[in-house]
Chain A
Amino acid sequence: MPAVTRVVLAEDEVLLREGLVALLTRFEFAVCAAVGSAPELLDAAREHEPDLVLTDIRMPPGRRDDGLRAAVALRAERPHLPVVVLSQYVQTGYAAALLDSGDGQRVGYLLKDRVAEVTEFVDTLRRVAAGGTAIDPDVVRQLLHRPRDPLAALSAREREVLALLAEGRSNASIAARLHVSEAAVGKHVGNILLKLDLPPSDDTNRRVLAVLTYLRSDPAG
Chain B
Amino acid sequence: MTPEHPRHLAEALRRRSWLISAWPWRTLAYLTSTVPISGVLAGGLLVIGAPLLAAVNALLLHGRPPGIALLLFLALGSLFLLALAPIVSFPVAAIERWRLRLVDSRPLPASPWPGLVARYRSAATWREVAYLFWLGGFAPVAYWVFLLLVLLDLGMVTSPWLVGDAGPVVIWRPIETTGEAIPYAIVAVLLLPVLCYLAGLLAAAQAAVARWALAWPVDATALREVARSRTRLVGAYEAERRRIERDLHDGAQPRLTSLTLQLGLARLDVPEDSPAARPLAVAHDQARGLMVMLRQLVHGIRPQSLTDLGLAGAVRELADAATIPVTVHADLHGEMPEIVETTAYFVVSEALGNVDRHARATRAEVRLTRAGGDLVVEVSDNGHGGADPARGTGLTGLADRVAAADGRLLLASPPGGPTLVRVELPCRR
Q: Which A residues are within 8 Å of any B CB, using their own CB? A: 11, 13, 15-16, 18-20, 22-23, 26, 58, 63-65, 88-89, 91-93, 112-113, 115-119, 142, 145-148, 219-220
B411 at the interface (CB under 8 A from A): no
Q: Indicate with 1 or 0, residue by residue over B295-312, a CB within 8 angstroms of chain A CB atoms.
A: 100110000110111000
Q: How many A-B residue pairs have CB under 8 A?
A: 104
Contacting pair B308 A113 (CB below 8 A): no
Contacts of B324 in A (CB 8 A): 146-147
Q: A145 and B288 in contact (CB under 8 A), knowing A88-B249, A89-B295?
A: no
B295 to A116, Cβ gap below 8 A? no
The 20 listed contacts between A and B (C-beta, < 8 Å) are A15-B254, A19-B258, A64-B307, A65-B308, A88-B298, A89-B305, A93-B313, A112-B254, A112-B291, A113-B291, A113-B295, A116-B264, A145-B321, A146-B321, A146-B322, A146-B323, A146-B325, A147-B324, A219-B319, A219-B320
In the bound complex, what is the Cα–Cα distance between A92 and B318 (angstroms)?
10
Determine the chain B residues whose CB is within 8 A of the CB of A220 once the complex forms.
316, 319, 327-328
B261 touches A23 (CB 8 A): yes
Are A113 and B261 in contact, CB atoms less than 8 angstroms apart? Answer: no
Report Cα–Cα, A23/B265, bound state, in Å: 7
CA distance A148 to B323 in the complex (A): 9
**B260 CB contact (under 8 Å) in A13, A64, A115:** A115
Chain A residues contacting B255 (CB-CB under 8 Å) are: 13, 15-16
B265 close to A118 (CB less than 8 A)? yes
- Whole-angstrom distance from the CB of B64 to the nearest CB of chain A? 92
Chain B 255-285 residues near chain A, CB threshold 8 A:
255, 257-258, 260-265, 267-268, 284
Query: Considering residues A142, A148, A220, which has the most beta carbons from chain B within 10 angstroms of its beta carbon?
Result: A220
Contact of A20 among B261, B298, B320, B322 (CB under 8 A): B261
C-alpha spacing A146/B255, complex, angstroms:
34
Can you add 4 more A-B contacts, CB < 8 Å, to A16-B254, A23-B264, A26-B268?
A65-B308, A116-B291, A148-B325, A220-B327
What residues of chain A lie closer than 8 Å to B258, measured between beta carbons? 13, 15-16, 18-19
Distance in Å from the Cβ of A215 to the closest Cβ of chain B?
11
Chain B binding surface SS class: helix
B336 touches A (CB below 8 Å): no
CB under 8 Å from chain A, chain B span 42-70: none
Q: How far is the CA of A105 from the CA of B295 in the complex (A)?
A: 28
Which chain A residue has the least Cβ–Cβ distance from B249?
A: A88
- A92: chain B residues within 8 A (beta carbon): 317, 320-321
Residues of B within 8 A of A89 (CB): 295, 299, 304-305
Q: Which residues of A contact B321 (CB under 8 A)?
A: 92, 142, 145-146
CB distance from A62 to the nearest CB of B (A): 10
B287 within 8 A of A: yes
Chain B residues at the A interface, C-beta cutoff of 8 Å: 249-250, 253-255, 257-258, 260-265, 267-268, 284, 287-288, 291-292, 295, 298-299, 304-305, 307-309, 313, 316-317, 319-325, 327-328
CA distance A129 to B40 in the complex (A): 100
The answer for the CA separation of A19 and B262 in the assembled complex, in Å, is 6
A95 to chain B, nearest CB (A): 10
Known contacts A26-B268, A64-B308; decide if A116 and B323 are in contact (CB<8 Å).
Answer: no
The 7 tightest CB contacts between A and B, nearest first, are A13-B254, A118-B264, A16-B258, A116-B260, A15-B258, A19-B261, A219-B320
* CB closest chain-B residue, reference A142: B321
Complex contacts, B299 vs chain A, CB 8 Å? 89
The reply to whether B257 and A115 form a contact with Cβ atoms under 8 Å apart is yes
Structural contact, B320 and A116, CB atoms closer than 8 A: no
A88 touching B253 in the complex, CB below 8 Å, given contacts A116-B261, A116-B288, A145-B323: yes
Write out the residue numbers on chain A whose beta carbons fall within 8 Å of the beta carbon of B323. Answer: 145-147
> Among B268, B287, B305, B316, which residue has its beta carbon within 8 angstroms of that of A116?
B287
When chains A and B are docked, how far (Å) is the Cα of A97 from the Cα of B146? 79
Known: A89-B295, A142-B321, A146-B324. A19 touches B316 (CB 8 A): no
Cβ-defined partner of B265 (8 Å) among A26, A113, A145: A26
Alpha-carbon distance between A148 and B322 when the two chains are bound, in angstroms: 11
Tell me the complex Cα distance, A112–B249, Å. 12
The CA of A88 and the CA of B295, in the complex, are separated in Å by 8
- Cα separation A13 to B316 with both chains bound (whole Å): 29
CB distance from B18 to the nearest CB of A (A): 52
- Which A residues touch B288, using CB under 8 A? 113, 116
Closest beta carbon of chain B to A161's beta carbon, Å: 21
A60 CB to closest chain B CB (Å) equals 10
A13 to B322, CA, bound (A): 33
Docked complex Cα distance between A23 and B266 (Å): 10
Q: Are A16 and B327 in contact (CB under 8 A)?
A: no
Residues in chain A near residue B304, CB distance under 8 A: 88-89, 91
Residue among A15, A23, A63 with the highest chain B CB neighbour number at 10 A:
A15
Which B residue sits closest to A17, measured CB to CB?
B258
State in angstroms the CA–CA spacing of A22 and B266 once bound together.
11
Q: Report the separation of the CA atoms of residues A148 and B320 in the bound assembly, to the nearest whole angstrom.
A: 11
Nearest-CB residue, chain B, relative to A149: B325
**In the complex the two chains form, is B295's CB within 8 Å of A115's CB?**
no
Q: Do B316 and A219 have beta carbons less than 8 Å apart? A: yes
